[in-house]
Structure 1
């Protein structure tokens, strides 16, 4: 499927006509406040994806993660597949290598790297995602080496020293406390096993006391129902404390000629105009009044659609948000 941001934005305007968006936002706000108090974001994240998962699948190719393109104009779906295969190459995937995908969803990344011949096991907290992914693997004749298990990555149903390598692509951002998950990943990896993290992370330049820094990234966390984003230092420290020191880092923005990780948005002046223009805001409001769009769509758009895009782009431009760093860790030999 070709991912066209401009065309997809216009399609989104009609996607939500049957949703009660005012109630959705009220429930989201209530669940987010509850999550801040309890430290458990599972309910608010699930609520967010109850509406947004279809959006991500239909309008973003199923993978809401980012990568700078290798060359100007490279289609997003092609760039993402290239990213997944680059990670597979770094992990030296091949036949008889056992690889673990943390937070695999329905297995989109696994499909992109299945041709490497490794034995791929994905973990997702959602049983329906495991069912969908495993059915797809069966239909493609991949069940002998690709499977998804519904489990909590804080306590996975695998023996010690099971996997040769592992990766987590845009999934650790949903984990409030990294220590438990890192220790669990370390437990199931064989000694010398490698683990790659590729995620949205706060750079070490992020200053929580800077009002603009905090406001920009807090909006992203709130809109997506996420816990506080981790800094790179926090990820490295939690892995190190779990017996998996950092052995290599690659920033793909530098590798691919200083193109930004948010290129899929920011490279198009038309798209950025669509998500920031007061004209579009006014048009949406008029469509609400005429009942072409549901009540509450303007606020929903500002918060969950355009607001999220703006937070990602502005965070990247300010240098406080990274979405293109490959962090490679290795479990210490016993």
Structure 2
């Protein structure tokens, strides 16, 4: 939002799941444009709500709220809102694509507790239970700071929201 570098410093700028945390996307993109040399490119990869999201649907609202809480997001914007913010900041949008549609593996797969593998054991119900108890014990004996269990719980909720948003109601990309 306020990079301590002179105007027109960089040949290229990219963000990966970062500008979605900005409270004001237009101001964020304007700051990115400010530090880019004229004619250079900005690329971003963001959490966005697809057209399938229904803001009037209570289940959609619940899932969106879980995602926002667990990922520290002020608001998961729609793809259209992101594109409009880029244009309002002075960017020309050359390419825009929902990469989730063309991916051979669903983006949410690593978070899905129903997929069991050695690397994803911690996400299964048993893995989550073990993790919860370990974090609780570590907090109890002072190896983890107070509030660690609470953070662990809302991160689990966020993971559930992400899987639901991607799998059951494909409104998050």
Task: Kindly indicate whether residue 52 of structure 2 is the aligned counterpart of residue 205 of structure 1.
Answer: yes
Find the partner of 2:18 among 149, 171, 196. 171
SS at match of 1:185: helix
> Post-superposition shift, 1:218?
0.5
Post-superposition CA distance 1:226-268 (Å, at most 9, x none): 21122211110011011102111233334443x2112223396
Find the partner of 2:162 among 287, 305, 312. 312
SS at match of 1:269: coil
- TM-score in terms of structure 1 length: 0.42
1: CA distance between counterparts of 2:102 and 2:79?
A: 19
In the TM superposition, 1:1-334 aligns within 5 A as 154-257=1-104, 259-266=105-112, 269-270=115-116, 275=123, 277=125, 292=137, 294=139, 300-301=151-152, 303-317=153-167, 318-322=169-173
2: CA distance between counterparts of 1:205 and 1:163?
A: 36
* Structure 1 residues without counterparts, runs of 5 or longer: 1-153, 323-334
Higher relative contact order (CA 8 A, sep 6+): 2
> Post-superposition shift, 1:166?
0.9
**Which stretch shifts more, 183-192 or 228-237?**
183-192
2:144 corresponds to which residue? none
* Structure 2 residues without counterparts, runs of 5 or longer: 141-146
> Post-superposition shift, 1:299?
5.6
- TM-score in terms of structure 2 length: 0.76
> Post-superposition shift, 1:309?
1.4
1: CA distance between counterparts of 2:79 and 2:33?
A: 18
**Residues 239 and 245 in structure 1, CA contact (< 8 A), matched pair in contact too:** yes
Post-superposition CA distance 1:7-52 (Å, at most 9, x none): xxxxxxxxxxxxxxxxxxxxxxxxxxxxxxxxxxxxxxxxxxxxxx
SS at match of 2:42: strand
2:143 corresponds to which residue? none
